[in-house]
Every structure is written in C-alpha cells, then in structure tokens.
C-alpha cells in the first residue's frame, strides 16, 4: 500500500461499533482502505470489540485499547496518546437473540 499523506496526523485508533463488524467498511480490505483514507491518518489501527464482553462505554474502551494499540504505531513517534475514533453512534450495542452450545462446537 503506498504511503499516504496524513492530513490529520500520523496515527489514530478506530473502534468499530458493536454489531457493525460485518459491514463492508469494516469487514473488507477495500472498506478498511476507504476508512483509512476518510479518517486522514497515515496509519489507522482498526479495533473490533469482542462479542462476549460487556463494554460500559467509549471512555472505558479508549482506556483499554490505547496502550495495546500503540504497539502498532510507527517507530519513532514521540506522543504517548493518540486519537481514538468511532462513528457518531459511539460503541454501539449488541443484543443476543439466542445462545447455545453443542458437543461439536462447544
């Protein structure tokens, strides 16, 4: 992938709202490329939230992902904090309609 000009900065973290993980924008390579281009950062770490975990809100998610996501930042960046982005509707929500297990899949 060619190096892109960063109009907003060198690095940011994008949190995919719960329930939107399968949307084209987040689930496909071309969609994520469009997301990076739209966000305007040189590098964008895209974070999907685990479906089996309850997240109280965006503030807690930011705290949890920030430290780990910095491992993917470009070498030589001096800042320790970078923007955590998401869509206007925050981290979203997920409603479990049915949960079961089987001897085949656990």
pLDDT above 80 (res 96): no
Q: Give the span between the Cα atoms of 78 and 4, in whole angstroms.
A: 20
5-14-8 Cα angle (round to 5): 30
Biggest CA pair distance of the chain: 52
pLDDT above 70 (res 2): no
Average pLDDT over residues 66-72: 81
Residues 63-74 as b or e (16 or more Cβ within 10 Å = b): eebbeebbeebe
pTM of the model: 0.77
Q: Is 75:11 a contact under the CB 8 Å cutoff?
A: no
């Amino acid at each position: 992938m060619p190096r892109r000009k960063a109009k907003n900065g060198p690095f940011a973290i994008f949190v995919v709202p719960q329930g939107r993980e399968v949307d084209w924008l987040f689930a496909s390579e071309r969609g994520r490329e469009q997301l990076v281009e739209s966000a305007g950062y040189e590098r964008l770490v895209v974070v999907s939230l685990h479906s089996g975990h309850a997240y109280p809100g965006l503030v807690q998610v930011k705290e949890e992902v920030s430290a780990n996501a910095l491992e993917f930042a470009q070498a030589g960046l001096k800042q320790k904090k970078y923007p955590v982005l998401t869509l206007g509707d925050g981290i979203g929500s997920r409603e479990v309609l049915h949960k079961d297990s089987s001897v085949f899949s656990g």
